[in-house]
Amino acid sequence: MEDMTERQLLETAVQLAETNAATGQRPFGAIIVLHGRIIAEGVNTALASGDPTEHAEVQAIRAACATLSTEDLSGAVVYTSCEPCVMCQATGVVTNVERMVFAASSAEAAEMGFPASSRATGMQGQWRKAAPTYVVRGDIPPTLAREPFAAWNARRTTGSVV
Ligand SMILES: [Zn+2]
């Protein structure tokens, strides 16, 4: 695990997202890496729970904090299947996450059926200007980054929605 590349870490997050979509949940997954090791993972469980704050990144951060018995994730990096929304970015900031690396962009997510509100998009743009290196796109092919959304859309079009 110590030898995993950024690409492999992103693939892990994308696989979590794809598996989550296959179970009828939204196609988002994230992992937390600290000192080269994956210490926590999370997937979007908002549909199952009815809790709209259960985004993959938030879930992964909650799990990491619970595992380490701390609210301080200094040095940790979030690898996520999709560009984090403002709630997830804020959760990373308040827990001292070092940075967040994503696979699919918000624009790609929107194209695949998950548009953000204009207000959220506007805030995201402002935050990017304020902290341009905090949330960055990782090294992963766009086709691979889109796979969780494809799995979600395939499941919906075949009528096997939960
Ligand atoms: Zn989010």
Per-residue pLDDT of the chain (162 residues; tens, 9 = 90+): 457 999 999 999 999 999 999 999 999 999 999 999 999 999 999 999 999 999 999 999 999 999 999 999 999 999 999 999 999 999 999 999 999 999 999 999 999 999 999 999 999 999 999 999 999 999 999 999 999 999 999 988 876 554
Q: How far is the CA of 157 from the centre of ligand 1 (A)?
A: 25
Instruction: Please list the active-site residues.
Output: 57
| Model pLDDT, residue 160 | 57
Partners of 78 in beta bridges:
32, 100
58 and 86 Cβ atoms separated by less than 8 Å: no
Q: How far is the CA of 50 from the centre of ligand 1 (A)?
A: 15
Distance (Å, whole) CA 91 – CA 27 = 20
Distance (Å, whole) CA 87 – CA 106 = 14
Q: How far is the CA of 87 from the centre of ligand 1 (A)?
A: 5
Q: How far is the CA of 91 from the centre of ligand 1 (A)?
A: 9
Q: How far is the CA of 57 from the centre of ligand 1 (A)?
A: 6
User: CB neighbours (10 Å) of residue 1?
Assistant: 10
| Model pLDDT, residue 134 | 97
